[in-house]
Structure formats: structure tokens, C-alpha cells
Amino acid sequence: MIRVSGVSKSIHKNRILKNVHFSVRSGTITGVVGRNGAGKTTLLRIIAGILYPSSGEITVNDQNVFKQPDVKQNVVFVPDSTDALRTYSIKEIVKFYEEIYDTFDQEYFYQLLEKFKFTKQGKIKYFSKGQKALFSLILAFSTNAKYVLLDEPTDGLDVIIKKQILQFIAEAVSERDVSVVISSHRLDELEKMADHIVVLKQGKVDSELEMEELKSQYHKIQVAFEGKLPQHIRDRSEVLSETGRVSVLLISSKDEETKKMIEDAEPILYEELPLSLEDIFVAKLGGDLYVS
Ligand SMILES: Nc1ncnc2c1ncn2[C@@H]1O[C@H](COP(=O)(O)OP(=O)(O)OP(=O)(O)O)[C@@H](O)[C@H]1O
């Protein structure tokens, strides 16, 4: 488990992170969501032990990242750009990674390069943006580090490569006993895969969401009545949208009374819809979709 305990960071008197607490459980995907400048990259770099916090502590499997640097073998950080690697060839990078990570799995690495149709020669700078992003992930998961920290892994990529990357991450997590932390400003990308979401707002944890728990807490239903949406039902539910007579409502799963009211009002349409993270945000945060 990674524990982030009371982490604050100031750079040039600018308070970037303020008393951040959360944990990353083994075998899970944690999404760190926040607007540009919320402090996501800074937080990930601190967790990886690249940047010192001004105060607070990071432990990986109960070992302090800054006091026992060996634990960094268990953590790999993937920045949102591959610029640092651009002038190197694949061979050189593999050599470099093998020196840093005792557990680097060369066989798995080359298998993945083949799977994704990479050439084995050439420098990273000749890869397309999507290839660079995928290559960074392949490299990170090949280290066999137990914790992979990904900074905006799909930023600026087209939908096809985005899908490929998200699928790769989900498969790697289910097959290889790793935990992943993904930072993003896109809720919709994380909701399908994250188990746990940490919402960062101006350097602070604004809220934490457990996806399974939350999804079971709400029902999203589409209803239509002969006339308007009855006021007593409107008052007791969150109206997500209204198009003509069709309303989409969010109600608490436990709220049997409202469900009964809807039934008694004899809707001409009643359909349960899949719940999205965005719906949950509307319910939890009163419609403030500040991360999109
Ligand atoms: N080395 C630095 N010196 C000064 N300010 C910095 C430094 N690094 C980050 N900051 C500031 O800290 C704040 C948070 O930056 P950070 O890159 O962590 O945010 P982010 O959530 O990752 O943003 P984005 O989504 O745009 O990448 C920003 O206001 C940024 O200007």
C-alpha cells in the first residue's frame, strides 16, 4: 500500500499541495482527478520520490520513500512526456532500465513491442505521439514495479490510441499484481477503470470516491409522465436532465419512498440507465463539474 500522509509542497512561496492524505491499495487503480494546475504532477512526483515534500510523508509498503530509497524499486513514474528519452534507442533504454530496476522483464518488454508492432530499432524521437505514450507504458510495466504512477497517460491522443492505452493498463493491472495511480483531468476516462478516485482541487483533496460503493448508492432512471414531472418527485430527486416530458433522475438506492412515489404516479416510461461518474459528481458536488 502507498500512504500519502499530510503532504504539503510549496515552491517559491506558492503553496502547491496542502495537507494531502490518501492511500493506494494493492491491486487497484486510483484516479487523481483535477483541473490543470491542481497539483497532480507535483503529487505524483512526490509519491515517486523524485521531489521532496515540504512536509508530510510517503510510505510504500510501510517504508518511507525518502528514508529508505530502496523502496523506489517498487515505484515507477511515467511523465506525460517522453522528452527525456527522445535521443536514445530502445536498446539503450532497456539497458538503462535494467540498471535501475533489478526486476526489469526484458522478455515481457519485447513481447509487448511485438504485440503493438513497434520496430526494435530506432530512436524514440521518431515515434508518433501515440507510440511514445504506449512505449512509456510498456517500459513502466516491464519494470515489474508494484506501483505504476501515470501522469496524464492519454493526454492529446486520438480516441483509438486512447482506448488501446486504457485497455493495456486495465489488462496489465488484472494480470500482473500491480497498482496504478493515474492522473487525469478527464473523469469519463477514469470512471470505467478506477476503483478509487481522489479529486484534487487547488492542491487539496476535495473528495474521495469509491466507485463500487458509489455506484450502488444511486439509481439513475429515465421517466416520463402524462403531464409534467410531478413536483413531489422533483423535490426528492436530483434531476439530471429534462427533454420534453422525459426526465433523467438520480435517486438514492435506499430511497424506497421516492421509488414508490414514482410508481404511484404511473409513469408512461420507466427505465433504469447506467450510472456515470459525472452523474455521481452532480449528486455529490451539486453539479460542479469542475474537472472536465
Ligand atoms: N518547479 C515549479 N516551480 C514553480 N511552480 C511550480 C513548479 N512546478 C509546479 N508549479 C506550480 O504548481 C501548480 C501545480 O502544478 P502541477 O503541474 O502539479 O499541476 P497539474 O495538476 O499536474 O496540472 P496539469 O494538469 O496542467 O499538468 C501550478 O500552479 C504550477 O505552476
pLDDT tens by residue, 249-265: 999 888 899 999 999 99
Whether 148 and 224 map to the same domain: the answer is: no
Report, as an integer, the average pLDDT of 194-201.
91
Cell of 180: 496504478
Give the Å distance between the CA of 39 and the centre of ligand 1.
6
Last residue of a domain, one of 202, 229, 254: 202
Whether 45 and 147 map to the same domain: the answer is: yes
Enumerate residues lining ligand 1, CB below 6 A. Answer: 11-12, 14, 16, 34, 36-42, 185
- The C-alpha atoms of residue 112 and residue 91 are separated, in whole angstroms, by 15
Q: What is the pTM of this model?
A: 0.83
Q: Which of 52-61, 80-89, 98-107, 136-145 has the lowest mean pLDDT?
A: 80-89
Q: Does 130 map to a domain?
A: yes
Q: Does 207 map to a domain?
A: no
> Quick one: which of 2, 21, 20, 16 has its CA closest to 64?
2
Question: What ipTM was reported for this prediction?
Answer: 0.95
Instruction: Return the residue whose CA atom lies nearest to atom 24 of ligand 1.
Output: 36
Whether 37 and 143 map to the same domain: the answer is: yes
Query: Does residue 17 surpass a pLDDT of 70?
Result: yes
Banded model confidence at residue 289, pLDDT cuts 50, 70, 90: very low
Show the CA angle centred on residue 223, arms to residues 217 and 211, nearest 5°: 20
Banded model confidence at residue 284, pLDDT cuts 50, 70, 90: low
Q: Does 256 map to a domain?
A: yes
The model's pLDDT over 152-176, given as tens digits with 9 standing for 90+, comes to: 998 888 888 888 888 989 988 888 8
Give the Å distance between the CA of 42 and the centre of ligand 1.
6
Q: Does 167 map to a domain?
A: yes
Q: Does 159 map to a domain?
A: yes
Instruction: Return the residue whose CA atom lies nearest to atom 4 of ligand 1.
Output: 11
Q: Does 144 map to a domain?
A: yes
Whether 185 and 89 map to the same domain: the answer is: yes
For 121, the domain range is 2-202
Report, as an integer, the average pLDDT of 137-150.
94
Give the Å distance between the CA of 37 and the centre of ligand 1.
5
Instruction: Return the residue whose CA atom lies nearest to atom 13 of ligand 1.
Output: 37
Query: Looking at ligand 1, which atom is closest to the CA of residue 12?
Result: 4
Instruction: Return the residue whose CA atom lies nearest to atom 7 of ligand 1.
Output: 11
Beta bridge partners of 197: 31, 209
Residue from 7, 9, 14, 35 whose mutation best tests the ligand 1 pocket (most atoms within 8 A of CB) = 14
Q: Does 291 map to a domain?
A: no
Average pLDDT, the chain: 89
Whether 79 and 168 map to the same domain: the answer is: yes
| CATH number of the domain residue 59 falls in | 3.40.50.300
Whether 267 and 186 map to the same domain: the answer is: no
Last residue of a domain, one of 156, 172, 202: 202
Give the Å distance between the CA of 52 and the centre of ligand 1.
14
Instruction: Return the residue whose CA atom lies nearest to atom 31 of ligand 1.
Output: 37
Whether 183 and 271 map to the same domain: the answer is: no
Whether 231 and 184 map to the same domain: the answer is: no
Instruction: Return the residue whose CA atom lies nearest to atom 6 of ligand 1.
Output: 11
Instruction: Return the residue whose CA atom lies nearest to atom 1 of ligand 1.
Output: 11
Whether 47 and 118 map to the same domain: the answer is: yes
Whether 174 and 70 map to the same domain: the answer is: yes
- The per-residue pLDDT for 285 is 55
Whether 149 and 240 map to the same domain: the answer is: no
Last residue of a domain, one of 143, 167, 202: 202
Query: Does residue 287 surpass a pLDDT of 60?
Result: no
Query: Looking at ligand 1, which atom is closest to the CA of residue 80?
Result: 27
Banded model confidence at residue 292, pLDDT cuts 50, 70, 90: very low
Q: Are strands 269-273 and 218-224 parallel, antiparallel or unpaired?
A: antiparallel
* Number of domains the chain contains: 2
| CATH number of the domain residue 263 falls in | 3.30.70
Whether 87 and 167 map to the same domain: the answer is: yes
Q: Does 292 map to a domain?
A: no
